[in-house]
Structure 1
Amino acid sequence: MKCFTMPEWAWFKLNEDAIENFANDYKKFLCEAKTERETVKYLIKEAKRYDFKPIDELEKLSVGDKVYATFRNKLVAMAVIGKNPVTKGFRIIGSHTDTPRIDLKPAPLYENSGIAMLKTHYYGGVKKYQWVAIPLALHGTIAFKDGTVKDIVIGEDDSDPIFVIPDVAPHIGGKKQESRKGTEVIEGEELHTIAGNKPIRSEKQDEKDSVKKMVLKILEEKYGIKEEDLISADLALVPAFKPRDAGFDRSMIAAYGQDDRVCVYTSFRALIEQEKPEFTAIGLFVDREEIGSAGDTSINSMFFEYFITEIMRKSAAGTNIDVLIKAFTNSRAISADVNTVVDPLHGDLYDLSNAGFLGKGVILTKYTGRGGKYSTSEAHAEY
């Protein structure tokens, strides 16, 4: 009798040149896609290279057709039409395009003690102390009064300025921080970032908000942005780090945003390589997972149902409720998201016989939830 053993090293089963090539492509993706908008933009750009077309452009779908649909530039669904009728079901894999970040508030800019600051609101499950005293870049989209829309990225190019959330100096902050719990070392309202320190030249010696006015002057002259334009803008601070190989053996990738863009990228690559699958293959790349999947670009929106309905209609399968229910009932889906692997410094937090290990293959999670599987979705024995 053979006993169950630990997973084997993936390195011994895969071609190292193929791993290296895939990893290099993945790092380029991580460098280019640091927000959900940038991720969707990247996916559509690459999908078009593989003959994917907007589903609205096709009146009829046939085996091998490749289509996509997007919503608000933050959510995209893609499909490769399969050999079996769509009523036989779909093969679906879903992942999320958003990742923890620091959003700017609608009216962010103010001045205090001669320093211009930006008010923020953290997004997702961040460890707040990790965001101070590191270089940050500003990414986002601004919609102007005349209807034009502009994407901005400040802090990624070596010639750009970066932004920093200040931390209190250790020799004066002991009493304030050392008595706090780990989750409170940095409070949410202490995540404001420095925007400038140079006052605008004026005939008045002590002009009020002179540093803020200088920042506004730069925003308007260099980027065409006025203060009121910030109110409706989607602007976020993300780490201004580039993906890097980690370890002497370069066996790991250190980068921002791998939750969940590692699943976005791998499932996307699998999808675009499909030609004529047995069942219609669908990749669903959704927003807002980090905050509970709320909002019209999340998995809980009606966008997925719309996309499926369009596929059914253009495949001549019909869209009445009976046909849709039959298609959904016959479908199979995978929810792709990151898992933790055993941390050698904190092994007591894991059930080692049921945990994932770095470098030893894909992790399959049968259930999540907590406290007696509360609020869990558990996979069945049959796929």
Structure 2
Amino acid sequence: MQYKNENGWIKSNEKKEIFYFCDEYKKFLDLGKTEREFVKEGVKFVEAKGFVPAESKKSLQVGDKVYYVNRGKNLVLAVIGKEDIEKGVNYVVSHIDSPRLDLKGNPLYEEFELAYMKTHYYGGIKKYQWASLPLALHGVVILENGESVEITIGEKDEDPVFTIPDILPHLAAKIQGERKSGEVIKGEELQIIVGSIPSTIENKEIKDRVKYAILEILNRDYGMVEEDFISAELELVPAGKAKDIGFDRSMVGAYGQDDRICGYTSMRAIVDLEEVPERTAICFLADKEEIGSSGSTGLKSDYLAYITGDIVEKVKGNFTEMMLRRVLWNSQSLSSDVNAGVDPIFKGVHDIQNAAKIGFGVVVTKYTGARGKSGTNDADAEYVGKIRKLLNDADVCWQIGELGKVDEGGGGTVAMYLAHLGIRTIDIGPALLAMHSPFEVSSKLDVYETYRAYKVFYTRG
């Protein structure tokens, strides 16, 4: 394992620390495969480190550590700094939702004595990657009586898993052979097989006996009836644990690293602060980024302004709208999201001179967007210069990166929604291979350097 500085490559004596950090990261990925699970595990983690619910505090003093939870899908951590809060705060904003398959509201049916469930994919996926793959079911069901029931099936060794059966190559020539890659598996073909044994109930009115048998199991184990699917959030994610990759174990392979790699490192960074920061530090873990940051738990909502206003009121003892506007306008942030690492197999989609590479440290991205910088926050040169100096002064290993060639495609982050509030913003996070796939790849060095970058931003930014 090596670091890079202005003199070239130098040998690191911190390999053991980096690997240990990433072992902890992998454990958290396994525990938090959905946004709800990430928040739940995050609350346990930060409470053990001295953070308390913000609602338990009528006022906030320098050094106080508090957290907020929004509808089970946002987790916000704050450490109150020494400086007057009206001079601004330091936000690190990541998202903790990932591409996946959601069960439809009426998913269960039977045909040819096989029971299937229909799904609706969430976020940008290559649909064919989700076929013939072991899948686990995670989520929550709200029963008719209002009871909330958590479901996780497919993660334990003794659990069953689910899968989307693909057609065998012997018969695929006509039905799939001429399809474009985006339609090798179509959206409506993303259906999981869930059972094949018919119910033993003696009732001539029940024709779909395999479907009925599945409902019997769900009722026995979770108290569900078929209508309860309507008030459920059940997500299919790849089954199995995060793994080391390579003979040298230098990389991490796992589902959901976009963007829980930034969620975990930003959370760890604020929890691990050794001293009270000058400026108030806020770690904001958002939902819904993969579908445009919409909804009451996405960053387009007013929740960031809401929690900031609450902090201002508790710190200052009073509140006006102008105070909040002043805080936001004087604040700065890191939009913490991943970039696309260069894969030598597909290097043609990148401008290599301006592309991120695995193992070269955290990636600073001045702008994202598509083609003519559409849908981006283009960070101003002064702020880029400040972040560059901050990372250099702390000897953080970093690189610049754009998301592909100019006319190749592109992508977005939450940066523009932060900038809309007047917050100075830049994208910064590690590079991944196989982004948005069921098994994304990161460099352990990059994971650790991302953590160091966020920590120095909280401390000195």
TM over 0.5: yes
Unaligned segments of structure 2, at least 5 residues: 384-461
| Aligned residue in 2 for 1:234 | 233
1:214 alignment counterpart: 213
Amino acid at match of 2:230: I
2:86 alignment partner in structure 1: 87
Q: Report the CA distance shift for 1:190/1:381 in structure 2 as closer, same or farther (over 3 A).
A: same
CA distance in 2, matches of 1:366, 1:320: 33
Give the Å deviation of 1:219: 0.9
Residue matched to 2:158: 159
Structure 2 SS opposite 1:211: helix
Letter in 1 for 2:163: V
Paired letter, 2:42: L
Is the CA contact 2:81–2:276 (under 8 Å) kept in the aligned structure 1?
yes
The 4+ residue runs of structure 1 with deviation greater than 3 A are 5-14, 202-207
Given that residues 10 and 360 in structure 1 are in contact (C-alpha distance below 8 angstroms), is that contact kept between their aligned partners in structure 2? no
Q: Give the corresponding residue for 2:271.
A: 272
After superposition, what is the alpha-carbon deviation per residue over 1:218-246, rounded to whole angstroms, capped at 9, x for unaligned? 11112222112111100011000210111
1:7–1:117 CA distance, 2 compared to 1 (3 A): farther
Number of residue pairs the alignment of both structures matches: 379
* 8 Å CA contact 1:10, 1:359 repeated in 2: no
Task: Give per-residue Cα distances to partners, 1:324-374, cap 9 Å, x unaligned.
Answer: 121112111010001111101011111111111111100000001122212
Matches within 5 A, 1:280-291: 280-291=280-291
Map of 2:295 onto structure 1: 295
Q: Which residue of 2 aligns with 1:186?
A: 185
Q: Residues 191-210 of structure 1: matches in 2 within 5 Å?
A: 191-203=190-202, 208-210=207-209
Choose between structure 1 and 2 for higher RCO, CA contacts under 8 A separated by at least 6 residues.
1
Taking the aligned partners of 2:99 and 2:209, their CA distance within structure 1 comes to 33
Task: Answer whether contact 1:10 1:361 (CA < 8 A) is retained.
Answer: no
Q: Per the alignment, do residues 24 and 7 of structure 1 end up closer, same or farther by CA in structure 2, a change over 3 Å counting?
A: farther
Moved more, 200-209 or 109-118: 200-209
**Counterpart of 2:25 in 1: which secondary structure?**
helix
Query: What is the CA–CA distance in structure 2 between the aligned matches of 1:106 and 1:11, rounded to whole Å?
Result: 55
SS in 1 for 2:160: coil
- The alpha-carbon distance between structure 1 residues 168 and 321, as it changes in their structure 2 partners (threshold 3 A), is same
1:15 and 1:257 map into 2 onto residues whose CA distance is: 26
Q: Is the 8 A contact 2:149 2:222 kept in 1?
A: no
Deviation at 1:145, TM superposition (A): 2.2
For the residues of structure 2 that align with 1:27 and 1:133, how far apart are their CA atoms?
A: 24
Q: Distance in 1 between matches of 2:55 and 2:202?
A: 59
Aligned in 2, Cα 1:76/1:204: closer, same or farther, shift over 3 Å? Answer: closer
Equivalent residues of 2:161, 2:239 under 8 A apart = yes
The alpha carbon displacement at 1:76 in A equals 1.5
The aligned residue for residue 32 of structure 1 is 31
Identity %: 47
User: How far off its partner does 1:146 sit?
Assistant: 2.2
Letter in structure 2 aligned against 1:176 = I
Amino acid at match of 1:18: E
CA distance in structure 2 between the aligned counterparts of 1:203 and 1:81, rounded to whole angstroms: 65
1:362 is aligned to 362
One-letter amino acid matched to 2:169: P
**Aligned residue type for 2:173:** G
Structure 1: 5+ residue stretches without partners: none
CA contact (8 A) 1:135 1:164 kept: yes
Deviation of 1:282 after TM superposition, in Å, equals 0.2
How far the C-alpha of 1:30 sits from its partner, in A, is 0.5
Q: Residue type matched to 2:293 in 1?
A: S
Normalising by structure 1, we get a TM-score of 0.95
Q: Which secondary structure state, in structure 2, belongs to the residue aligned with residue 382 of structure 1? A: helix
Rounded Cα–Cα distance in structure 2 between residues aligned with 1:350 and 1:85: 44
Matches within 5 A, 1:52-91: 52-91=51-90
Is the CA contact (8 Å cut-off) linking 1:165 and 1:192 kept in structure 2? yes
Where does residue 320 of structure 1 map in the other structure?
320
- Report the aligned-residue RMSD: 1.8
CA distance in 1, matches of 2:253, 2:165: 23
Moved more, 155-164 or 321-330: 321-330
Is the 8 Å Cα contact of residues 65 and 77 (structure 2) preserved in structure 1?
Answer: yes
Aligned to 1:101: 100
Q: CA deviation at 1:103?
A: 0.1
